[in-house]
Amino acid sequence: MTNEQWEKLLAVINGELFDPLPVGFIIDSPWLPGWAGISALDYYSSDQKWIDANLKAIQTFPDVMFLPGFWSEYGMCTEPSAFGAKCRWSEHELPHAGKVIATLEDIARIEKPNPRTDGLLPFVLRRLELYRSRIEDVGHQIRFAVARGPLNIATFLMGTTEFLMALRTDPEPIERLLTVITDFTAEWLAVQNECFPSIEGVFILDDIVGFLGEEDFRQTALPYLKRLYGALDVPVRFFHNDAQGLVCAGFLGEIGVNLFNFSYEHSLSEMRERAGETVTLLGNIPPRDVLAQGTPEDVAGSVKAAVEPLSDTRRIILSCGGGMPPDVPTANIEAFIKAV
């Protein structure tokens, strides 16, 4: 993000009103490679093609806040790889991280990885180190320490169904697993911050919290997320959960979140009521059915429908309900910006 964009983001979070409203999108490997005309495998394996795709995005849409901005990542394999997950790669599909926990007894053998040396994490850091001056030369800074959330990582390590069943049937080993993952993730955030002093934000992504009821959320997600958002003293604390978001909405303030991206199935006005006045909302048109597959006219109509019910547009950044999905065309992004 540029300094101007960063200051605008801080102003929005602090409640300053903007007209027109700001526009921001989460962009990463589901969208960028295809839009830039390269394969997913090239995006992950070529630092040059990674930087070129990100530069193309900021040059094509200079007025859009792209979050987290120049995201160095390897899809869902990034953090699980540090635990020894086997990563499967293909030319045009997202990579997949294999399980490392076959039985609950395996959890006792899980050790906290070293984020400086293990898995793909050193490659995440080195890519940003190699291109930091190039990023700064175009007026941008590395602003966010980024990690998948503890429940998200846990489900890759042991399977989603297995994890969700075990948190009810065997809470003690699940507590140990989440503690190890949270210890690791807090250290991973700290290492990023140490390497890049320009970081002033934390960005955690965890859709699995949307599969929990309130009791399970309080026990299995709340304390671990709260710890992670307290790991760094930064002004922007960004959370992404585009599964069901109502279960966590009322706890965002307690967790420490002040910027929230959530499912398009919840309207901005509904989420404002649940999350309260102090959380900035990033959303909220359907990402796949409208932004990717709709016409420019569909996009414009959806933007209007999202905004019209709002009586107060403070702490709103218009976006889609989730990250930018595959196959979103330039014309639809332009229609979104024009509609705003």
For the cut 90, the answer to whether the pLDDT of residue 245 exceeds it is no
Tokens of 105: 């007894």
Tell me what the pLDDT averaged over the chain comes to: 97
| Calpha distance 146→149 (Å, rounded) | 9
d(CA 78, CA 82): 7
CA atoms of 150 and 178, how far apart (whole Å): 6
Look up residue 223 and give its amino acid. P
Annotate 26-46 with DSSP letters as a single string.
E--TTTHHHHHT--HHHHHH-
Q: Dig out the tokens for 254 from the structure.
A: 């307690």
Q: In the chain, which ranges are E strands?
A: 24-26, 65-67, 87-88, 96-97, 144-148, 201-205, 236-241, 259-262, 280-285, 316-320
Q: Which residues pair with 240 in a beta bridge?
A: 205, 261
Q: What is the per-residue pLDDT across 180-237, written as a single tens digit (0 to 9) for each? A: 999 999 999 999 999 999 999 999 999 999 999 999 999 999 999 999 999 999 999 9
Q: How far apart are CA 251 and CA 232, in angstroms?
A: 19
Distance from the Cα of residue 47 to its chain's centroid: 21
β-bridge mates for residue 148, sequence order: 205
Spatial CA neighbour of 46 closest among 36, 60, 59: 36
Angle at CA of residue 210, ends 190 and 259, nearest 5°: 50
**pLDDT tens per residue, range 254-285:** 999 999 999 999 999 999 999 999 999 999 99
Domain 3-339 carries which CATH code?
Answer: 3.20.20.210
Is the omega angle on the peptide bond into residue 20 within 30 degrees of 0, that is, cis?
Answer: yes
Could you tell me the CA-to-CA distances from 68 to 71, 111, 215, 238, 331 in Å, in that order?
6, 29, 31, 9, 22
The pLDDT assigned to 277 comes to 95
The string of pLDDT tens digits covering residues 11-26 is: 999 999 999 999 999 9
pTM, entire model: 0.97
Please tell me the predicted confidence (pLDDT) of residue 37.
98
Q: Where are the domains of the chain?
A: 3-339
